[in-house]
């Protein structure tokens, strides 16, 4: 038995950490929340209540959002504050404000609860969004969120984007008119093969890279054939303007805006070369 995992877990989270490793070793999926998780979850619920489930900052301010409690238990506060993936919001906003490169359609592969798609539609960055989400619970929630924001007629919602989905997609929507946001937990390495990238060579791509699943170098090499690539990552967060955070202890305030990521993440902003 590898005792280093027990030692590491105990040093970080005490007996709860030790017990969670033990549960995993004997095949039990249930895990106890450590104090850190409980703090983040508590503040996330508090921010959700104070904001009344409306995004209060960032580029999507004013968008109403019900969150997937399975996915957004720990990053919910950052979404309601408008800080979640702020760099992605900023990059798409800049693109759409540039009349020479802006796109007609927003295509979100891995749309989740609709945070980006509905926020962009609500603020008139796009008039139409084509969304792909394979998780039934998430897609049902996305439809609910579209209804409460009066955006149901502005979206097309599909299930999983299969490897050959562009063959059918290009029959109804010109790919050169599309900005793609791709967040599919490592499947970007499979979906963005040579054939599909050739079809997408006039589109704009924003890709979240999950390099803990696969080495991204081969994908980046293929992308450079057609695109000028800019890399962005999570940057600074200014919490001073959020009055609802004023009474939270400084040690806990920064936990509120976490995005529940396993490591530092990168997004590739891919603009066509021609």
Q: 100-121, pLDDT tens digit by residue?
A: 999 999 999 999 999 999 999 9
- 95 neighbors 204 (Cβ within 8 angstroms): yes
Note whether residue 24 is domain-resident: yes
Tell me: the pLDDT tens digits for 165-212? 898 776 667 899 999 999 998 889 999 999 999 999 999 999 999 988
- What's the domain count of the chain? 2
One domain, residues 111 and 227: yes
- 182 neighbors 109 (Cβ within 8 angstroms): yes
Note whether residue 61 is domain-resident: no
One domain, residues 26 and 141: no
Residue 26: which domain range? 1-32
C-beta neighbour count of 167 within 10 angstroms: 12
One domain, residues 28 and 91: no
One domain, residues 23 and 92: no
Note whether residue 79 is domain-resident: no
pTM of the predicted model, to two decimals? 0.90
Give dist(CA 108, CA 227) in Å, integer.
19
Note whether residue 55 is domain-resident: no
Note whether residue 53 is domain-resident: no
- 61 neighbors 43 (Cβ within 8 angstroms): no
CATH code assigned at 138: 3.40.50.150
Secondary structure in 3-state letters for 74-99: CCHHHHHCCCCCHHHHHHHHHHHHCC
One domain, residues 93 and 212: yes
């Amino acid at each position: 038995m590898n005792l280093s995992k027990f030692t590491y877990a105990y040093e970080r989270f005490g007996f709860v950490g030790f017990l969670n490793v033990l549960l995993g070793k004997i095949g039990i999926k249930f895990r106890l929340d450590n104090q850190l998780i409980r703090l983040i979850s508590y503040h996330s619920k508090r921010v959700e209540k104070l904001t009344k489930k409306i995004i209060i900052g960032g580029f999507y301010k004013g968008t109403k959002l019900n969150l997937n409690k399975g996915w957004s238990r720990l990053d919910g506060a950052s979404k309601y504050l408008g800080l979640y993936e702020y760099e992605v919001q900023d990059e798409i906003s800049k693109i759409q404000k540039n009349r020479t490169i802006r796109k007609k359609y927003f295509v979100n592969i891995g749309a989740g609860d609709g945070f980006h798609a509905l926020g962009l539609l609500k603020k008139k960055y796009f008039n139409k969004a084509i969304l792909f989400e394979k998780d039934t619970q998430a897609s049902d929630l996305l439809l609910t969120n579209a209804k409460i924001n009066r955006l149901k007629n502005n979206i097309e919602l599909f299930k999983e984007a299969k490897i050959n989905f562009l063959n059918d997609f290009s029959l109804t929507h010109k790919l050169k008119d599309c900005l793609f946001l791709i967040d599919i937990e490592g499947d970007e390495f499979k979906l963005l093969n040579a054939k599909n990238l050739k079809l997408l060579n006039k589109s704009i791509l924003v890709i979240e890279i999950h390099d803990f699943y696969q080495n991204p170098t081969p994908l980046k090499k293929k992308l450079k054939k057609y695109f000028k690539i800019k890399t962005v990552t999570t940057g600074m967060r200014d919490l001073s303007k959020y009055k609802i955070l004023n009474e939270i202890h400084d040690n806990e305030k920064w936990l509120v805006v976490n995005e529940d990521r396993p490591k530092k993440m990168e997004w590739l902003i891919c603009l066509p070369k021609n």
